[in-house]
Amino acid sequence: MPDSSRQHLLAIYRAALATVLARDSRCTLLCAGTDGSDGPGGDAGAIVNAGTLRRGQRQGLDAGEALRRADSGRFLQASSDLLRTGPTGTNVMDVVLGIKVAH
């Protein structure tokens, strides 16, 4: 069964953009739900960077195929980029935070 959520999809799109277009390894993006659960997988979301696609590919997965199949959670699990917080007891919003390290 496909495993995907809104934060997984945003995270994997960002990783693809960094790797394919920007080639910028200095950027990291956190995409997560404040309640600790985003979608069917039981994780809060993901923290990704330019290495996300490479790590997933080493496990034999393709990010483009994961997006087409709405199965980004499986890809992010294979790349070790899922964020697992457990239940937080609050459900305020989704959080998207980008960090870029200066030269």
Q: Residue 103: beta bridge partners?
A: none
Query: Three-state DSSP class for 82?
Result: strand
Which among 68, 70, 22 has a CA at the least distance from the CA of 48?
A: 22
Determine contact, residues 43/84, Cβ cutoff 8 Å. yes
The ranges assigned to domains in the chain are 6-100
pLDDT per position as a tens digit, 10-56: 766 666 665 544 556 677 888 888 887 777 778 888 888 878 888 99
**pLDDT of 47-79, one tens digit each?**
888 788 889 999 999 888 887 888 888 898 999
Architecture category of domain 6-100 in CATH: 3-Layer(aba) Sandwich (3.40)
